[in-house]
Amino acid sequence: MAFGYQGKILHVDLSSGQLSVEEPEDKFYRRYMGGSAMGAYYLLQHTPEGADPLGEENTLSLMTGVMTGAPISGQSRVAAVAKSPVSGLADESSAGGSWPAELKFAGFDGIVIHGRADAPVYLWVHDGEAELRDAAALVGRFTADVEDALREELGDRRIEVLQCGPGAEKGVRYGALVNNANRVNGRGGMGTVMASKNLKAVVVRGRARPELADRDTLTGLARWGAEHLPESGVAGFRRLGTAALLLSQSTVGGLPTHNWDSGSFDGAEEISGERMAETILKRGDTCYGCAIACKRVVEVTEGPYKVDPRYGGPEYETLAALGSYCDVSDLAAIAYANQLCNMYGIDTIACGGTIAWVMDCFERGLLTEADTGGISVRFGDAAAMVRMVEMIGKREGFGELLGEGSAQAAETLGVGQELVVAVKGRELPAHMPQVKRTMALLYAVNPGGADHTVCEHDTSYLRFPEGMAPLDLLDPHPSTVLNPEMVRYAVYSQQLISCVDAVNVCKFVYGPAWQLYDLEQWVEALQAITGWNVSLWEMMKVGERRINLLRAFNAREGVGAQADTLPHKLTVPLKGGPNEGVAVTQAEFESAKALYYQMVGWDSQGYPTSGKLHELGLGWLAEMLETRTISESSATLPAD
């Protein structure tokens, strides 16, 4: 068995109630590492072509990584992988907390969930054993209440719970997975997939630490990280969390505002990390074994919005989606809306983006109070924003439709399609392609839709030249340029960060830019844990392999270049602030997309070529796709 792993994958067939354990070979672990790369492998192996994302044939994988549970910062991450009910395509979502490390300590590197239970159940995994238990009494309850009930039932306060919330149970398409009541696999509807399987929660507890090849070297790296944190690129996250980004983003014109009409928000100071620290911040929090402590815990005891610290506090993305997207500058209201999302188990980015779309339609007269159930949903109205979140969580009234997301709501109503800001059904996160041009390209080509975590952002090329040099990136350009060098930057950056997702570690701790450890130290940590002579080149290949696995799943579904598009709003000139008049042009985007396909070894339809898959050691996948039709014209996977 490879060092760093437990050597076991738990398979759970909810339809039959059968549980089995797979023990992969060491070379399997080295090829895929873990995380969403390993999850994508199981998705392709077990989810048939054309499967309903909410049907029993869909497979939900929960994967740790090679570093999970090791005594060093940034390692406790879990990747959830499934066919997404948001896009109908392969998707993944990552979260931290203590649940990932506890799963590893419970004796498993990951869990693959098949089928659908006849009645609500939860999975109890502990010390190398697993069983399914009745969960009927947990259905419909808020996430913190479910945790409390399970700890009482199992008689152990130290169990960790990953669950879907009542929003997902009611069919909110962008339902999340929640652990610790505030750590969230938010994107892509992974919680809704779990709910569709009648699986309420996965509860873990264990004491088996994975063996390490070189504990002394890893201990030295952990000590170095703790000592050098104050001078690192992520020191500000310890003080202000990711909310540290908000005020500066607005100042430079990169904070999505008024449903993406502008990049500057007049109320930015009122919802900034600095204001949070001065007013409602109770304490910082951290994931298992991490020195950074970037999580926020807030509390509000007075006024109309009482906020319970049990549900954490808003991240940058949430402050933007439920704040500046909607022109809302009431910090307590945003914190309460964040709490509602965590209670109901729904994605804050999708939720805020959908509400901003409603506000845009309402102010343009495309929707009225007759559509919204008598509620005036206007920009800047904090009470209306909060009310919409609650209605979505309950699937109540107009919230029934909004639980489908902005793209589906626009299609159903037949209005506001050009006001939707989403790719492949995913509402855009709060990083603007108008001012970070490679984001336009990577939002479009990412297998699951718009995702700000798939790469280093354009500004990092200029700000961290020493960090980029090991990737042979030596010629930075401004972030508003989308020329061949910046497409090359996008390719290499995406492949590296894809390996971060496969190894399954935190992007704030490892990487070339906003990191605690540089790339050389990350390689050293992997060598110390595994005993493998792993190199940066090998890690890049793991990242490239992960992208192609997910992309090949979509190819098998017949989806490629036709889905790699941008929302209309990104082509409309911004209003106000330092970036007034700035927009993405269709011509530059299409040119960059074609060049990107050539650089990564995909054909003009955006399908991975047979040669590329073989080059990545994915011959089994090339053979699988060559036997299947992947388009309406019955074309098979193209050769080189």
Predicted confidence (pLDDT) at residue 637 exceeds the cutoff of 70: no
Helix (H) or strand (E) holding 624: helix 619-626
| pLDDT tier for residue 1 given thresholds of 50, 70 and 90 | low
Residues 404 and 449 in one domain: no
Pure H helices in 213-368: 215-228, 235-240, 246-251, 273-279, 316-321, 331-344, 348-363
Pure H helices in 119-214: 143-154, 166-169, 190-196
Residues 373 and 459 in one domain: no
Helix (H) or strand (E) holding 626: helix 619-626
Q: What is the pLDDT of residue 233?
A: 86
CB neighbourhood size of 407 (10 A): 25
Predicted confidence (pLDDT) at residue 629 exceeds the cutoff of 70: no
Q: What is the CATH number of the domain that holds 54?
A: 3.60.9.10
Amino acid identity, residue 276?
A: M
Measured in whole angstroms, the distance separating CA 520 from the mean position of its chain's CA atoms is 26
Residues 172 and 263 in one domain: no
Residues 72 and 167 in one domain: yes
**Residue 63 in contact with residue 81, Cβ under 8 Å?**
yes
The model's pLDDT over 360-397, given as tens digits with 9 standing for 90+, comes to 999 999 999 999 999 999 999 999 999 999 999 999 99
Q: What is the pLDDT of residue 627?
A: 77
Q: What is the pLDDT of residue 628?
A: 64
Residues 254 and 183 in one domain: no
The reply to whether the predicted model has a pTM over 0.85 is yes
3-state secondary structure of 278: helix
| Nearest CA among 240, 282, 281, 249 for reference residue 268 | 249
The model's pLDDT over 170-225, given as tens digits with 9 standing for 90+, comes to 999 999 999 999 999 999 999 999 999 999 999 999 999 999 999 999 999 999 99
The model's pLDDT over 276-321, given as tens digits with 9 standing for 90+, comes to 999 999 999 999 999 999 999 999 999 999 999 999 999 999 999 9
User: What is the span of the domain harbouring residue 414?
Assistant: 235-419
Residues 25 and 155 in one domain: yes
Residues 399 and 451 in one domain: no
Residues 456 and 372 in one domain: no
R_g of the chain computed on alpha carbons = 23
User: Into how many domains does the chain fold?
Assistant: 3
Q: What is the pLDDT of residue 258?
A: 98
Across 544-582, b (16+ Cβ under 10 Å) vs e yields: bbbbbbbbbbbbbbbbbbebbebbebbeeebebbebeee
Residues 484 and 542 in one domain: yes
The model's pLDDT over 591-606, given as tens digits with 9 standing for 90+, comes to 999 999 999 999 999 9
Residues 192 and 246 in one domain: no
- Share above pLDDT 70 across residues of the chain, in percent, rounded to a whole number: 98
Predicted confidence (pLDDT) at residue 632 exceeds the cutoff of 90: no
**Residue 462 in contact with residue 478, Cβ under 8 Å?**
yes
Q: What is the pLDDT of residue 612?
A: 97
Residues 389 and 240 in one domain: yes
Predicted confidence (pLDDT) at residue 639 exceeds the cutoff of 80: no
213: in domain:
no
In the numeric block, the tokens 């307590």 are attached to 332
Nearest-angstrom CA–CA distance, 174 and 190: 8
**Residue 243 in contact with residue 296, Cβ under 8 Å?**
yes
The model's pLDDT over 30-59, given as tens digits with 9 standing for 90+, comes to 999 999 999 999 999 999 999 999 999 999
218: in domain:
no
Q: What is the pLDDT of residue 630?
A: 41
The model's pLDDT over 110-122, given as tens digits with 9 standing for 90+, comes to 999 999 999 999 9
The model's pLDDT over 525-555, given as tens digits with 9 standing for 90+, comes to 999 999 999 999 999 999 999 999 999 999 9
Predicted confidence (pLDDT) at residue 437 exceeds the cutoff of 90: yes
